[in-house]
Structure 1
Amino acid sequence: MSTTPPSFAELLRHHRRAAQLTLEQLAGASGVSIRALSDMERGRSAGPQHRTVVALADALALSEDDREQLIDLARSGRLRDHWTRPTGLCELPRSVDDFTGRAAELAWADDVMHAGDAPGAAGVALITGAAGLGKTTLAVHTAHVLRPSFPDGLFFVDLYGMSPRPLTADDALMQLLRALGTTERHLPHDTLERASVHRSLLRERRVLLVLDNAGSEEQIRPLLPAGGQSRALVTSRRLLAGLEGVHRLSLGPLPLVEAAELLTGILARRGSSDGGSAVGELAEFCGGLPLALRIVGNRLVSRPGWRAAEFADRLADEERRLDQLRAGDLKVATAFGMSYKQLAASTQRVFRRLALVPGRDFDATLAAVAGGASMEGMWEALDELVDLGLLQDSRSGRYRFHDLVRLFARDRLHAEERSSERDALTVTVTSWLLRMATVAGRWFDPAYGRPDPPDADLSSSEEADHWLRVNVDNWLGALRAAAGGGRQADVLDCAESMDWFSDRWMHAPHWHEVFTLGSEAAAALDDPARQARQLNLLAWVHLVPRDDLETTLRYTAQALELATRSDATAQVASAHHNAAGALRRLGRPDEAIAAETRAAELFKAVGDIDTYGQCLGSLGSCLRDSGRHSEALEQYLGLWALVNDDRSGVTSSVAAFIRPIALARIGECLALLGHHSEAIATLTEAITLMEEGQLPVPQAASLQTLAALLGEEGRTGESRHAYARAAEVYQAVGDIEAADRCRKLASAAP
């Protein structure tokens, strides 16, 4: 009569007892956990991994025959488990055929998935980002690529994190345990026990879990592997900052090149070629958002008669863009809407009102003005918006919308707030920005002295300078809105406040627009004297940053006529001063000297010693360019004496501005007169003062002059260094042509 062969569980228990070992003792000797041993002896784990069985056989000191029998039973159990495991549970979705780009992200995921064993959740890759960025697509594609590395299975669970009823951790565990082969009879009833069994099974196998659309740390934490060869790839719109020990990837939009490549791949199914420029436009309108790109591609593929260029024309209209980004059940607005619904009501209000900010980015202070919230409440709202990917933040403390998210916020604003509320909020934001810009600009105007801003802590000219630069899109947008709304007095005040600051940032591209709006506002207010001032500033724009000398002379002629008619002596003088600069560079030195001399006389007569000093410097330049180098040097030395005389009447801030420039001109004249050593020392001192005073444009020009002098003196290494520094400064101020020229001179020096 034959006897039934023992099961793996029975044989393991027999050998343990024969060795007179407790579960704890065998666990300690083999390195296999007590929980895993208990599951094996109870038959819940009938086919443990080969390395586990070998470790147990070694710990039990089994004979060769007993060892082979135990290993054979485990192998049979694994085969039996494989063929009886429920199929089709948690099956991985298909990967799209036209997956494009994301090379760096795929390499990152591969590195994490193949990293060595480590305790805790070291084998967990978390991909976060806003709606529509393709997190799920990336995770699924990665899993398919990595399939050979995970022979025990790839499992996918949608956690519905943005749904009103997300999948609970308990339900997710039940799905995964069934997929891993646990029968209903052996499913623990308690969530903690299910999590423990789940971790035990993962530790014994090489499995990849794709946990998609996680909504919270509590939902995801029980599902993660805890050591061993199994890995987890998690996606979430939330940052899930509470998860410890995970590898994080913040997914951004596709670069424009990859976006166009993805769209081209989708459109290949149309069987007709679409113009590259139209595809590029479509990709740009989609902002690198894969969901939007796929919608655009699908709409064009499903309508062969449409031309890509015509669809691009539709998307060009911001008012209709979100409506056009829909194809069947795919809608960009719906994806954003799911995130929007997760927000608290107060944060929803902040989100939609931030659409009123005119620029591309903003800080928390401006957000509080637009959102109508306290700073404390604003920090909470901004954190919530960043956490859900509805805002992007940066290390500089500034925030910005993705272009399509901004359109969604604007749609919500129009849908959920009355027009009277929107108009009032627009006025509030615009007024605050114009007031801030005007106050900041006056920090540099010697006529105002030290401002006392009521709404922000701009305690120094450095802070005012920084605010104006980083918020230029915002205050310029406010200036346009105020001009369009007929608020001409506010526009003119702001434009006038930029007079002296524009010297510090002369190559910024927006001064023509600022002073044009100022001139139009002054004309609307029927104030010819103030209009003349704005026309003189426009003349300066074309004289210095734009180098359009004939246009400079046209503006000075208009300014001179208005200023003379209104007895605005200072503006008559400014017109002569700007005209002199253009005439000098047009090679008309006698006319330039006459105009500059007249300007200096007029400024001195009205007591404007600050601008009088500038005229002396310009007169020196006229003399220098005429070849009258000794007279020019005498003129610059007189200016140097003026700005260093405490009793001269020159404002200290203006003196600090003119001093290094005057010193540089003295150095240039010394060089022209053949005093090279003295010139080099003087220019070096001037460049140091310019760097301390943050005057990059004259600093770059002086560095270039110094470099040439050093080269003439045979000091080649110093010359190269000066040219390289000049290139860096030119690059920083946006003068790319001059930067390239200096780089070539640096490399060409012998």
Structure 2
Amino acid sequence: MQRSEFGPRLRDLRVRAGLTIEALAEASGVSVRAISDTERGRSRAPQPRTVAALAAGLGLAPADTEAFTELGRSGRETTVTAGRPRSCELPRRSVHFVGRDAELAVIGRRVAAGSAKVTVLYGPPGVGKTALAIRVAEQHRDRFPDGCYYLDLRGTEPEPVTTGDALTVLLKALGVHSRQVARDEDERAGQLRALLAGRRCLLILDNAGGEAQVRGLLPGGGANCVLVTSRRALGGLEAVRRHPIASLRPEESAALLESVGGGGGTAEATATLAQLCGHLPLALHIAGTRLAGRGSMADLVAELSDANRRLATLSASGSGVEAAFAVSYAQLAGPARTTFRRLAQVPTVSFAPAAAAVLAGCDVFTAEDQLEELLDLGLLQPEGAERYRFHDLIRLFATDRLRTEEPAEVSGDTARRLRDWYLDTAIAAGRWFEPAYGGPPDAWSGPVPLDTAELAQTWLQVEFDGWVEAMRGAAAGGAHQRVVDVAEALHWYSDRTYSVEPWRVVYTLSRESAALLPDRHQEVTHINYLAWAYGTCDARYEESAAIAMDAYRMAVELGDVKEQANALAYAADPVRHAGRHDEAIAMLERSLALADEAGDDDMYVQTMISVGLCLRDAGRSDAAVAQLRAALTELDRRPLAAAPAQIARLTAWVHLSTTYADAGRWPETVEAARAALPLAETFGEPSITGQVQVAYGEACAALGDTATARDALGAATQLLEDRGNLARWLQRARAGLAALSSA
């Protein structure tokens, strides 16, 4: 059997599997250069472990694997060395390399300036680190007259290249005779540094497994450049630059599909296909190869749209994307593997260590260590401060590992544990803002600190999607009282973020769950909450009014005076927005009487303020000011709880400032705005602060303080952007800025 038969057979199997050389390299862990040289008969027959890795990467059946292995064994018996390429020669570049202009520009500037002594290109499997390093070397080859050298360290393989062997290879490539290579590894490292000190070379150390493997290969000085590629950031290396490599941008993904697959689809279909591939170069190569083989883009999009089949489709006979991820997964310690697959149960795009701790059943510090291990191997991506996220395809891989490696009852338990944690924490955080509590339970010991209202609010905002999904899960599981309890705990908190969070979703869930429970008083309360969300949050006033009147009729039927008062107040707000101010005031006055009868001091004062708002909108500024001042007096007289009192005081001063501004009473506007602003900023709802800034800015402009006016109106435009129900305030802010600019 001649050596030349193994290379053609390898190429034939690769093409049949629909893999490019780069894709097979990612799938098998064998370098691009080694595969290319083997296929062209330019290298020695591969070692047994390389043949095994190629067979696994190709996804060969057992019988085919045996024949493939025998062919490699026979080739080794008759191998010849004539015609071998120069050691450490750069692999041939991919003809389908596209994009990466930003990365090439940044790294290129460093190379040109001589500041890229050592650059680590790191990122998840399949992201194209090797291809980028080779392209950098090609673009800047002329700067390195003493040569560009490539060495695959095989850091993700079971038997990576040792530092000592790597030193030997590099020394020989640089012209050192075998007999002159030092026996001791440290001496070899010194030889390499001495040799490079007088040269200008570029080295690519590809697929590094860790710092220890690389450290001894780095030059000590001279005008050399080293590009290290790794799934890890190699944070233990000193005096190096690190450059994270992310997925391609959408336009680059489309260009790569066009290059590999030959086009043939609409721009919309191509964009959809690229998104389904997660903009990951390896996945895009496989998809493009499928298209080049006369596959239909519509069929491929349909196939990949099934999340349960997507990895298999992108794995080309068992290799490719899934195999590339599996290499990193296999390197994880047992606890980190468990955490990795269970993280697939997190319902949000990004997650914090606390969620990982709940899933793994460990403390937060241990979870952080495990997340950093996942990050280090490219299985997670950082997402802002102390948060992480999956690449879309890696999340699918984690889901598959969870399904395959954990019994259904275990994964069901962890999912419920995570759901209960979201719900328990939301309730505990919400208690900071509830009149009857003012803080979490004394026994609270969850993995996130809730020691202050600010910490509680931060958690609720950051984890909004998580606890809402937990509410959905609880509702689907029949835990309807739990859903209602969460919504109830967040009732007063919702006022703080009404313009930025979709409270209609929360109160739709709680209303639906309350309707399935026997307590009808509880049900009418949550119908009222939903009316508030439709009106105040979403400006869907007709629907809000209809829901509020449903609540009113039910409250009358139940004899629930308190909820009658609430319903009328919520129903009055859409009437005010419709411009029927006298009708709205009449409804609010009836609500005031009912709130007084029910002894609901919180609602009574807030409804007084709503009457003042109606009077303001009706143009009756003097009456509005009197009403709002009376509300502040009543606020001090009645025993309101802390949270309702804070909201009432804030809204009274806000509406006073805007009432004065509407009336052109500028000194009084400034006085009221200065009282309102610190309250608004402490409260944290941006739309409220924005309204005050408009009034303050208009007053300062009218009084000749243009600098303060410009600052206030500029802040208002930022706070009120994309607040649909406050468009008129945004228009006022912009008009005020325009007037200042033209003055």
TM range, normalised to the smaller chain? 0.7 to 0.9
Q: Which moved more, 1:95-104 or 1:456-465?
A: 95-104
Contact 1:528/1:563 (<8 A) preserved = no
Compute the displacement of 1:153 (Å): 1.6
Change beyond 3 A, Cα 1:743–1:594: closer
Q: Which moved more, 1:205-214 or 1:223-232?
A: 223-232
Choose the corresponding residue for 2:548, options 556, 560, 576. Answer: 556
Q: Percent identity?
A: 39
Compute the displacement of 1:162 (Å): 0.7
The equivalent of 2:464 in structure 1 is 472
Contact 2:125/2:378 (<8 A) preserved = yes
Q: Which moved more, 1:446-455 or 1:87-96?
A: 446-455
Q: Deviations over 1:663-709 (max 9, x none)?
A: 23223334455533222222232123212332322110121223334
Q: 3-state DSSP class of the match of 2:204?
A: strand
Contact 2:602/2:640 (<8 A) preserved = yes
Q: Which amino acid aligns with 2:609?
A: G
- Give the whole-Å Cα distance in 2 for the aligned partners of 1:659 and 1:546: 24
Choose the corresponding residue for 1:215, options 186, 206, 209. Answer: 209
The equivalent of 1:299 in structure 2 is 290
Confirm or deny that 1:375 pairs with 2:364.
yes
Confirm or deny that 1:547 pairs with 2:545.
no
Contact 2:667/2:699 (<8 A) preserved = no
Larger Rg belongs to: 1
The equivalent of 1:108 in structure 2 is 106
Contact 1:85/1:179 (<8 A) preserved = no
- Give the whole-Å Cα distance in 2 for the aligned partners of 1:668 and 1:246: 57
Q: 3-state DSSP class of the match of 2:150?
A: strand
Change beyond 3 A, Cα 1:549–1:87: closer
Contact 1:112/1:125 (<8 A) preserved = no
Q: Which amino acid aligns with 1:512?
A: R
Contact 1:170/1:191 (<8 A) preserved = yes
Q: Which amino acid aligns with 1:723?
A: L
- Give the whole-Å Cα distance in 2 for the aligned partners of 1:281 and 1:745: 43
The equivalent of 1:675 in structure 2 is 665
The equivalent of 2:304 in structure 1 is 315
Choose the corresponding residue for 1:490, options 482, 495, 509. Answer: 482
The equivalent of 1:340 in structure 2 is 329
The equivalent of 1:29 in structure 2 is none
- Give the whole-Å Cα distance in 1 for the aligned partners of 2:133 and 2:578: 64
Contact 1:701/1:726 (<8 A) preserved = yes
The equivalent of 1:728 in structure 2 is 718
Change beyond 3 A, Cα 1:491–1:598: same
Contact 1:87/1:179 (<8 A) preserved = no
Confirm or deny that 1:349 pairs with 2:338.
yes
Contact 1:704/1:742 (<8 A) preserved = yes
Task: Describe how 1:157-176 pairs up with structure 2 within 5 A.
Answer: 157-176=151-170
Compute the displacement of 1:127 (Å): 0.9
Compute the displacement of 1:590 (Å): 2.4
The equivalent of 1:260 in structure 2 is 254
Compute the displacement of 1:246 (Å): 1.2
Compute the displacement of 1:472 (Å): 1.0
Confirm or deny that 1:706 pairs with 2:704.
no
- Count of matched residue pairs: 656
Change beyond 3 A, Cα 1:586–1:744: closer
- Give the whole-Å Cα distance in 2 for the aligned partners of 1:534 and 1:491: 11
- Give the whole-Å Cα distance in 2 for the aligned partners of 1:442 and 1:591: 36
- Give the whole-Å Cα distance in 2 for the aligned partners of 1:506 and 1:483: 23
The equivalent of 2:678 in structure 1 is 688
Contact 1:351/1:371 (<8 A) preserved = no
Contact 1:275/1:309 (<8 A) preserved = no
- Give the whole-Å Cα distance in 1 for the aligned partners of 2:98 and 2:724: 34
- Give the whole-Å Cα distance in 2 for the aligned partners of 1:742 and 1:327: 57
Task: Describe how 1:270-281 pairs up with structure 2 within 5 A.
Answer: 270=263, 272=264, 274-281=265-272
Change beyond 3 A, Cα 1:734–1:167: farther
Question: What is the root-mean-square deviation in Å for CA atoms of aligned residues?
Answer: 2.3
- Give the whole-Å Cα distance in 2 for the aligned partners of 1:284 and 1:736: 35
Stretches of structure 1 that go unaligned for 5 or more consecutive residues are 1-83
Contact 1:85/1:181 (<8 A) preserved = no
- Give the whole-Å Cα distance in 2 for the aligned partners of 1:660 and 1:736: 18
Choose the corresponding residue for 2:276, options 259, 275, 285. Answer: 285
The equivalent of 1:450 in structure 2 is 439
Task: Describe how 1:583-594 pairs up with structure 2 within 5 A.
Answer: 583-594=575-586
Contact 1:237/1:387 (<8 A) preserved = yes
The equivalent of 1:697 in structure 2 is 687
Q: Deviations over 1:171-195 (max 9, x none)?
A: 1122222222222232322222222
Choose the corresponding residue for 2:231, options 223, 233, 237. Answer: 237
- Give the whole-Å Cα distance in 2 for the aligned partners of 1:86 and 1:354: 47
The equivalent of 1:63 in structure 2 is none
* Greater RCO, CA 8 A, separation 6+: 2
Change beyond 3 A, Cα 1:107–1:527: same
Change beyond 3 A, Cα 1:150–1:314: same
Contact 1:85/1:180 (<8 A) preserved = no
Change beyond 3 A, Cα 1:671–1:338: closer
Confirm or deny that 1:657 pairs with 2:651.
no
Q: Which amino acid aligns with 2:711?
A: H
